[in-house]
Amino acid sequence: MKISKLLVKRVKKILNYAYAPYSKIQVGAGLICEGGKIYTGINIENSSYSLTVCAERVALFKALSEGERKFLLLLIYSPQIEFILPCGACLQVLSEFAPELIIATMNKNEEFRFYPLKSLIKKPFRF
């Protein structure tokens, strides 16, 4: 799978807005929708850790709030963690809205690894 230079550029640029005073780990995410639009997100920490929001969910919620419902790929990047992956909460939320999503993770050398969401969360919670 090929990742566009535009997506990489936008995900790296959005890191400037990450708010990570506690973990010191900045995370940027870029979600590509079926129509080609890209929604970005950054992690936003809180001193009450459970209120922190991950970059992946920020990007997804921005897209959902604009009426998007069909998602193709989510690129995640952190300069502090080699090939960062989504946390369990993000996997659960993503599985509800985009069960066929491809997760791409990138390192500092702009090398990529790809994972179908279904391979990262085998049995998401469902009613």
- β-pairing, 71-77 vs 102-106, is parallel
Asked whether the beta carbons of 102 and 2 are under 8 A apart, the reply is: no
Active site residue ranges? 56
What gap in Å lies between CA 126 and CA 80, rounded to an integer?
A: 33
What are the residues facing 44 on neighbouring strands? Answer: 19, 53
